[in-house]
Chain A
Amino acid sequence: MPARMNHSESRPSDVELYYRMGADPHVAKLAFEELYHRFGPGVYRYCYRVIGDRRVAEDIFQETFINFYESARGERVMINVEAYLLRIARNLSLNAKKSKHNDTLPIDQFDPPADECSYERKETDQLVVAALDSLPADYREALVLREYNGLSYSEISNVVGASVATVRIRIFRAKRKLRGMLTPYLTDLLDHD
């Protein structure tokens, strides 16, 4: 393992790393890896939960980062790297959905969380995720960006290209629908929490 020496210097910003990707190949690769380290999991969650199909989600995830890496070679003005990545993923997801009219995940494809918790909690968590997958695509996307990626309404509106009011309504309706679907099981969920 490389010897580590601590320094007080702060980490480079997302935008700074993005512009470094357009420089020397070795610097670019290091910058890319750092950005992948920061945003890879979030983009993966988005792809996985919005697309539903694991194989398609992984293809889109890879293509998202390849497009992202290649975009740095141009003269693009970057403001929000995460939002840009999610926009790429979203556009690719929309294209994938056009070619495959199946925007829900069969419950048998659900991959349970790997953390150590009780069987009952796993079961209720699976129910919550299944309910999420059954939501309309627009609602699900907005809710995933809010709950899985932690974006604000304004950032979500930037990613999906809708107004903040529209995003707010989508998320509200998505939660109400979720509550309606999960009502019989929410007692169990509350007991385990």
Chain B
Amino acid sequence: MGERFNISPTEMLHLYLDGELEPFLETGLFHSVAEDHELRAEFREMLAVRSAFHRDSVALYPPNRLTQSLMAAIAPETAGGNARRRGGIPLVLQRSLLPLLTALLASLLTALLLQPNNPSQQAIQEYSGRGLWGGIIPRGMTTAEHRNNNIEKGNPGDTVATEKNSTMKNIPHQNISAGNISSAGYRKTERNWPAREQARATANNSQSANHKNISADRTAADSVPGPITHVTSAPLHAVAQRFTQPVFSSAAPAHSLPPAGIVTDTSDPTERYIVQLRGINDKSFPASRVEPGTTNWLDDVGIALFYAPSEHHRFGIEAGREAFSQVFHDSEGTRRVRYEQNPTTWWIGAAYRYDPGDIGLPFGIRPFVQASAGISPIGGVGRGSIGLGYLPERRVEFFGGIDGGILLYRLGSTLYSTRKAGWTIGTSLKF
């Protein structure tokens, strides 16, 4: 800095205005300004020029279009423009269809697992004696075979039973007795069983009675699940012995019985684990004008694994992937600035579901409440759902309802939140 000691008063003045003049030279500058009229004039003029620069500087600000274009360029996966479409499908359709496709895919997989020809499903049917849609069919026998077999054996009651479930409601209570069980009486008593026990008895007895009559070359068409068939050709005394078990001996009023094909008993102690797959279609609040962009087809999907210690409670973990819009407001000088983005992120957390069971809704539909809390790469995530479920089969449930979520995240020293609300549909499978 020694070179600065020989600088002129004018140069010292400019250094002073730029904050670069050594402090011990300032006194000399002030003396010079006080004595030199021309230096004072230059001082005022340079202050005026600086003011002009300052006004120009404040007015120069990147246009919004430039900012949006830049954000899209650096992160095309989270910005608008090209991200409005995913795989050529408009985003509006994607948001509605993806959850539906998720549920349908899960349903298809479930149905495949429950196919009679599936070895694992044969084991299930041996245990439950039910087809996918609730009918009790003897193990290894199709509906048509079983009906024909019963007709050949001259069991008119069974034939009647195959026609329509409502026929069974006309059977009088007095026909039911442990020692004198008619075909009609058997059917009536059968309705009082829990579905699992009905299936077990029917499957075991039918298997021994009809095994020799089953054709070895059944066609695939025969395997299509038929109407509900609460029928059996097993020796009735064997069935009667089971009816005398105390837990099954009392007959419930007919009006309290659920229609056949609707599952009400889901409390099997051997089935404690549940896999749940659902689509989530929620809208963020505040909504961003930047559409979420991703090529991942697993977006807007949640998958959970539950353990059910009882029929009404489930505990587990749930993970998913979805977009949460983020909107910030701030000031740049005198301007109000809005920043927004719509990143898609993974989340995972602990989940709980409460199911009060059958509360008398039509078709055995039952309500549920589900909540989860967890984390994402951006911040904490909370989620809650309430809706209705339908069980076409004891192990399978289809459900739908309304869903809400919240994302908490920190930016700088400020904690922000994004809320989401919408709907969810899905399916769950017990095993």
Contact = CB atoms under 8 A, between A and B. Distances in A.
Contact of A171 (B14, B52, B332, B412): B14
Interface in A72-131: 113-115, 117, 121, 124-125, 128-129
A2 B61 contact: no
Nearest to A9: B413
A61 B70 CA distance: 9
A190 B45 contact: yes
Interface residues of A, number: 63
Contacts of A128: 49, 52-53, 56
B281 interface: no
B77 A2 contact: no
B33 interface: no
A1 B286 contact: yes
Nearest to A167: B20
B73 A4 contact: no
B69 interface: yes
A125 B52 CA distance: 5
B51 A193 contact: yes
B66 A62 contact: yes
Contacts of A58: 63, 66
B247 interface: no
Contacts of A61: 62, 66
Contacts of B47: 193
B297 interface: no
B275 to A, nearest CB: 28
B75 interface: yes
B14 A172 contact: yes
Given A61-B66, A124-B52, A168-B20, A29 B78 contact: yes
Given A61-B66, A146-B18, A147-B50, A3 B416 contact: yes
B35 interface: no
A36 B62 CA distance: 10
B165 interface: no
Interface residues of B, number: 63
Contacts of A65: 70, 74
Interface string A171-193: 11001101100100010011001
A138 interface: no
Contacts of A147: 50, 53-54, 57
A41 interface: yes
Interface string A49-69: 100000000100110011001
Interface in B358-375: none
A27 B377 contact: yes
Given A1-B327, A128-B49, A189-B49, A25 B74 contact: no
Given A40-B67, A125-B55, A29 B416 contact: no
Contacts of B77: 25
Given A2-B417, A65-B70, A190-B45, A44 B62 contact: yes
Interface stretch (B83-91, B141-149, B224-232, B338-346): B338-346
A7 B409 CA distance: 12
B326 interface: yes
Nearest to A117: B55
A33 B70 CA distance: 10
A51 B343 CA distance: 35
A34 B413 CA distance: 12
Nearest to A191: B48
B317 interface: no
A89 B343 CA distance: 29
Interface in A137-193: 146-148, 152-153, 165, 168, 171-172, 175-176, 178-179, 182, 186, 189-190, 193
Interface in A21-49: 24-27, 29-30, 32-34, 36-37, 40-41, 44-45, 48-49
Most chain A CB within 10 A, of B50, B343, B412, is at: B412
Contact of B60 (A4, A32, A48, A179): A48
A37 B339 contact: yes
Given A26-B378, A40-B67, A113-B56, 15 more contacts: A2-B417, A3-B417, A25-B75, A26-B78, A33-B71, A37-B339, A44-B60, A65-B70, A115-B334, A128-B52, A129-B56, A168-B20, A172-B11, A179-B49, A189-B49
Interface of A: 1-12, 24-27, 29-30, 32-34, 36-37, 40-41, 44-45, 48-49, 58, 61-62, 65-66, 69, 113-115, 117, 121, 124-125, 128-129, 132, 146-148, 152-153, 165, 168, 171-172, 175-176, 178-179, 182, 186, 189-190, 193
29 contacts: A2-B418, A5-B415, A9-B413, A11-B412, A12-B412, A25-B77, A26-B377, A26-B378, A41-B60, A41-B62, A41-B332, A44-B62, A48-B60, A49-B60, A62-B73, A113-B58, A113-B59, A125-B52, A125-B56, A128-B49, A128-B52, A147-B50, A148-B57, A148-B60, A153-B18, A172-B14, A176-B10, A182-B49, A189-B45
